[in-house]
Amino acid sequence: MKVAIMGAGLSGLSCAIMLERNGITPTIFEKRSRTGDRFVNGEAFMSFLTKPIDDVVRYLAEEFQLYIQPVSPINRLSFHSENENAIIDAQTGFINIRGRHRLSLENQLTDQLQTDIQFHASKSYESMLREYTHVILAPGDASYAEKLRNFTEKLSVSLKGAIVEGEFDNDHVRVWLNNDIAPNGYAYLLPLSSSKANLVMAYPDAVSASKEQTEKQWALLLNSACAQVNQHLHVTDQFQITNYKIGLCHAPRIGNTFFTGNCFGAIMPFLGFGQFESILTGIYAAYDICGYGKYEDYTRPLRKSFHDSFILRRGMETLNNDAFNFIVKQLDGRIGERLFSTDRNIVRAGSFLLRPFVWMK
């Protein structure tokens, strides 16, 4: 059995680790110069997005002996709308680092891998099919799934962000729901340390504005962030992504080709995070190859989560600032804490309630 893995991101690395532990040495091809060769940014494991799994870090360790060291747990979650603020004091997830940082998720997984990675690789998918019995597609985007007509794009998004320097509580995440800042989208501040944080606004390309308007929206976000943390924030290392496609593959496996990570559709549309799902697709692909079960069966709950998250995202896009003000006001205090500490799947419940309105739209 010869297994090729295209891409050394979260899904590709997770797959390789699991294959190694089962006596299979894969060949890993990565087009970049090293793992995590991208801008540094923060992402989060949010427990309300991964129900019924509350503690993703513990789950990966106990179920798969895959060890992740997050930057910090999230013990305080603040929501900001145009005129309202809500603070939720509850353990709601973990903050992680991605990209060119020694503590990034990619580098943490690489440290658990024994197989050498072939960097600067330009090997094509077609040549892999001829030379290997199994191919894991983990390129970090949906390009190959689209090329094989195995992908439905649900939306494309743009992000503008930066690293900001100041003084931060490591465990305090802030989220903005304000159409003046991120039309039909959201913004967030994730601390990466006590002195640096990632400030990002994300919105669908369908409402993308001119460069001048985007800069005005960014200025509003930065001013709001400075006001909320009561200090001036120094902006460094800005980045911008446009037309990033979010969608889902039609078939998780075609022949002996496995679609994993963003090539599968691991990004959850509601808040745009998908690291946990990416890692799981890599693990599940390895489990299928090792004969433990079918990849289609393993990934069925992930596909369900994607559809629920998409419905919730579409519902959110119908809300104006008055609606966001009302929601944030309700989240403040005990109601919000109970909502985020419940064992119920908030995303699934919300998608069920919003589904008729989204279908009517």
pLDDT single digits (tens) 43-95? 999 988 888 898 999 999 999 999 999 999 999 999 999 999 999 998 999 99
245, 242, 83, 267: which is closest to 177 by C-alpha? Answer: 83
Q: How many domains does the chain have?
A: 1
3-state secondary structure of 21: helix
Q: Find where tokens 């409402």 sit.
A: 207
Question: What does DSSP say about strands 253-254 and 257-259: parallel, antiparallel, or unpaired?
Answer: antiparallel
User: What's the pLDDT at 316?
Assistant: 85
Partners of 235 in beta bridges: 164
User: What's the pLDDT at 49?
Assistant: 83
Which amino acid is it at 215?
E
Instruction: Look at phi and psi of residue 140 and say left if phi exceeds 0, alpha if psi is from -120 to 50, else beta.
Output: left
Question: What does DSSP say about strands 134-137 and 41-46: parallel, antiparallel, or unpaired?
Answer: unpaired
Q: Residue 324: in which H helix or E strand, if any?
A: helix 321-331
Task: Give the whole-angstrom CA distance, residue 195 versus residue 168.
Answer: 6
From edge to edge, which strands make up the β-sheet containing 172-176? Answer: 41-46, 85-98, 72-80, 172-176, 186-191, 196-204, 151-165, 234-249
User: What's the pLDDT at 37?
Assistant: 82
Exposed (0-12), middle (13-18) or buried (19+): which is 211, by Cβ within 10 Å? exposed
Question: Which ranges of the chain have pLDDT less than 50?
Answer: 357, 359-361
Cβ-based neighbours of 327, under 8 Å, separated by 6 or more: 81, 177, 319
End-to-end CA distance of the chain: 49
- The pTM score is 0.93
User: What's the pLDDT at 38?
Assistant: 82
Task: Give the whole-angstrom CA distance, residue 253 versus residue 251.
Answer: 5
Task: Give the whole-angstrom CA distance, residue 82 versus residue 80.
Answer: 7
Task: Give the whole-angstrom CA distance, residue 7 versus residue 68.
Answer: 20
Query: What's the domain range around 34?
Result: 3-360
Q: How many CA atoms lie within 13 A of 256 on its CB side?
A: 16
Q: Find where tokens 């059995």 sit.
A: 1
Assign residue 220 the CATH number of its domain: 3.50.50.60
